[in-house]
Amino acid sequence: MRNLLRVSLQVKILGLVIFLLLLVLSLVTFMVAYMESNEDVEKAENMALQTAKTVSYMPVVQETFIQNRDPQDINYVSEQIREEVGASTIKVVSRNGETMGISGAGSPVAPTDYYRAVVFGSNYILHTGEGNDEILKGISPILVDYGNYKKLEGAVITEFQMNDIHNEITADIKKIIAASSAVFVLGIAGSFFLARSIRKDTLGLEPYEISTLYQERDAVLQSVKEGIVAIDQKGIITMINVSAQELLDLPDHAEGQTVYEVIASTQFLEMVVSKETIVNKELQLKDKNLIVNTRPMRMKDNVIGTVISFRDKTEIKKMIDALSEVRQYTEDLRAQAHEFTSKLYVILGMIQLGKLQEAIKMIQEETQAQQQVTEMFFRNIRDEKVQAIILGKLAKASEKKINFKIEEGSSLEPLPDHIRLTPLIIILGNLINNAFDAVMDKEEKIVSFFVTDLGRDIVFEIADNGNGVEKGTEQQIFQKGFSLKGNNRGYGLAHVTEEVEVLQGNIEMDSYEHEGTIFTVILPKDKDKRFGRGR
C-alpha cells in the first residue's frame, strides 16, 4: 500500500483527474443523453399531434368533405407539410376507412388506430409496432363545420418512424460524447501541465523528497547549539529550535504565538521589530548574557519576517575568565621567579662582600618559609588541581605582600572526577582574588584558606580581615553586575554562585564590618545523592 501511494506527483494528479473526469463526464453524458432522448421523443410526439391537428383544420381538407373537392389536392398540401416536419407519412382517412389523401410511404391503417378520433373526437398519440418498425402516430379528428352543425368526418394520422428519431438521438449522443472526449483530453493535458508546473515550483522534487528534506533541515536546525527563531511580519513565531527554547526559557508550544506574548524583554523585542540587520549585539536577558544576530527576510522590498539567532555569552565569558586566571598564574610565577632572581643577587652580593653569616641566615629563612608551606601543603592537600591554584595564589600573595595562610588542619584527598578544573579555578580563584582585593588597603593583610573533606562534603573557607560587606548589600553581591570595584565588573561572585549550583553545592557568607568576611563553599562529594538541592 505504501509503495502504491509512493508514486510521482504527476501520476497521482493524472490518476485523480482521469478518475474524476471519467466519473463526471460519464454521468453528465448519460444524464444529458437520457434527457435528450426523452425530450426528443416528446418533441416528436408533440410534432405528430400538432401536425395532425393542423392538417385536420386545413381548408383543403374541410372542403374536400363539404364540396367533394378533388382529394388529390390534399396530397399536394400534406406532402409539403410532411417534408417540412420530417414525418414519414401523413394520411387523411374518412370515417368509414376510405383513404382521402396520403403522402409518403403508406402503411395500411387499422381502423382501431383512429377509432377514438372518429367516435369521440379525441386527439392522441399511438405507438405501434416493435423495434425498428415502431411507428409513432399522432391522430386528430376531422370535425367538419356544416354551418348549423358539425360532424366528425374522418381523421388525420401523422406517422413518424421511431427509427429516424432514434437515429437522431444517437447522432446527438455521439456529439455529446465527442464533446466530453474533448473535455477529457483537455483535462488530462491540463493536469499534466499542472503537475509539471508544481514540479517546477518544487525544484523537481517529489513531495516525499521535500518532506524528507524538510525533516533533515529541521533536525540540523534543532541540533545546533545556537538559538534560532523565525518570526513573520506580524510577530508570530514560525520556527524555533530547541536551543532557542532553552536559552529563552520558553514553553514547548511557543510556535504560533507572537513574540510579544512569550518574551518579556523589551530590548529583545526592539531588536526583533527593528527590521534591520543586527550583528553580534550583546543583550542581557534574565540571568543570561546573549549575543544576538538578526536578519530580516525580504520579498520585493517588503519585510516578511525576521530570523534571529543568538548564543549564550555567559559560557564564553566563563571560559575567558578561566583563561585569564591561568594566565595570571603564569604571570605570578614569573614574578616569583623574578623575586627569586633578585634574592639570589642579594645573596651573591652578600657573599661577594664577605657577609657570609647574613647570607646563610637569609638562605635559611627563605628555605624554611618555603619548606613550611610546601610540606604541609603537599602533605595535607593532595588534590593537584587545588594545589596548582593555591600555589599560584601564594605566589601572588607574596608579591603583593599579603600574608596568605593555609590554616592548620586543612586536608583534602584528590577530588572526585565530577569537580573539574575550570569550575574550581572560577570558584577558588574569584574568592581568593576578592579576599586579596579586600585587604589591599589594610596595613596587616591577612587572608586565610581552609579546606576539609571530612564527611560527605568538601568545605572551602576563605577569610580576610578586610572591611567586610556593607550591611544591606549581602544579597546583592551575589547578583550579576554588582561590584564594589567599579563599573563593568561584578561577574565574579555571580559566576561563582552559578558554578557552585552546577556542582549542587552552596555558598555562604559571614561578614563583620571592619573585621572581615568569611566565604564558605560546600560541595558534595557525590553529587547525584544530593536530592532536592540541584536545579
* Residue 295 lies near another protein (rule: CB under 8 A): no
| Identified binder of another protein from the candidate list 30, 146, 208, 214, rule CB under 8 A | 146
Query: Which CB sits closer to another protein, 148 or 487?
Result: 148
Residues 6+ apart with CB under 8 A from 33: 169, 172, 173, 176
Round to whole Å and give the CA distance between 359 and 109: 163
| Identified binder of another protein from the candidate list 150, 217, 420, 489, rule CB under 8 A | 150
Round to whole Å and give the CA distance between 520 and 461: 5
* Residue 74 lies near another protein (rule: CB under 8 A): no
* Residue 148 lies near another protein (rule: CB under 8 A): yes
Query: Which CB sits closer to another protein, 148 or 357?
Result: 148
Query: Which CB sits closer to another protein, 34 or 146?
Result: 146
C-alpha dihedral over 383, 385, 387, 392, to 10 degrees? 180
CA distances (Å), origin 336, targets 332, 380, 394: 6, 23, 10
* Residue 129 lies near another protein (rule: CB under 8 A): no
Residues 6+ apart with CB under 8 A from 290: 247, 282, 283, 284, 310, 311, 312, 313
Round to whole Å and give the CA distance between 525 and 503: 9
Only segment of 144-152, 240-248, 380-388, 502-510 that touches another protein (CB under 8 A): 144-152
Round to whole Å and give the CA distance between 414 and 393: 19
459: enclosing H helix or E strand: strand 457-464
The size of the interface with another protein (CB under 8 A), counted in residues, is: 20
* Residue 121 lies near another protein (rule: CB under 8 A): yes
Query: Which CB sits closer to another protein, 114 or 449?
Result: 114
Yes or no: say if 147 and 66 are a contact pair by the CB < 8 Å rule: no
Only segment of 117-125, 380-388, 429-437, 460-468 that touches another protein (CB under 8 A): 117-125
* Residue 115 lies near another protein (rule: CB under 8 A): yes
Round to whole Å and give the CA distance between 113 and 162: 17
Query: Which CB sits closer to another protein, 9 or 93?
Result: 93
* Residue 531 lies near another protein (rule: CB under 8 A): no
194: enclosing H helix or E strand: helix 162-201
Work out how close the CB of 74 gets to another protein at its nearest, in angstroms, rounded to a whole number.
Answer: 21
Question: Considering only residues 349-378, where is the footprint of another protein by CB under 8 A?
Answer: none
Only segment of 148-156, 322-330, 343-351, 492-500 that touches another protein (CB under 8 A): 148-156
CA angle 192, 193, 198 (to 5 degrees): 100
Beta-bridge partners for 292: 281, 310
Work out how close the CB of 166 gets to another protein at its nearest, in angstroms, rounded to a whole number.
Answer: 25
CA angle 400, 372, 365 (to 5 degrees): 70
Query: Which CB sits closer to another protein, 34 or 120?
Result: 120
Query: Which CB sits closer to another protein, 53 or 355?
Result: 53
Only segment of 59-67, 73-81, 145-153, 309-317 that touches another protein (CB under 8 A): 145-153
Closest by Cα among 492, 430, 490 to 460: 430
Query: Which CB sits closer to another protein, 159 or 332?
Result: 159
* Residue 143 lies near another protein (rule: CB under 8 A): yes
Put the strands of the sheet holding 516-524 in their side by side order: 403-406, 446-452, 457-464, 516-524, 506-512
* Residue 380 lies near another protein (rule: CB under 8 A): no
Yes or no: say if 506 and 522 are a contact pair by the CB < 8 Å rule: yes
| Identified binder of another protein from the candidate list 119, 185, 337, 454, rule CB under 8 A | 119
Which spans in 58-158 are helix H? 59-66, 72-85, 111-120
| Identified binder of another protein from the candidate list 18, 36, 124, 380, rule CB under 8 A | 124
Only segment of 140-148, 325-333, 344-352, 489-497 that touches another protein (CB under 8 A): 140-148
| Identified binder of another protein from the candidate list 15, 106, 111, 481, rule CB under 8 A | 111
Residue 109 in grid coordinates? 391503417
Query: Which CB sits closer to another protein, 137 or 318?
Result: 137
Which residues contact another protein by CB under 8 A?
A: 95-96, 111-112, 115-116, 118-124, 143, 146, 148-152
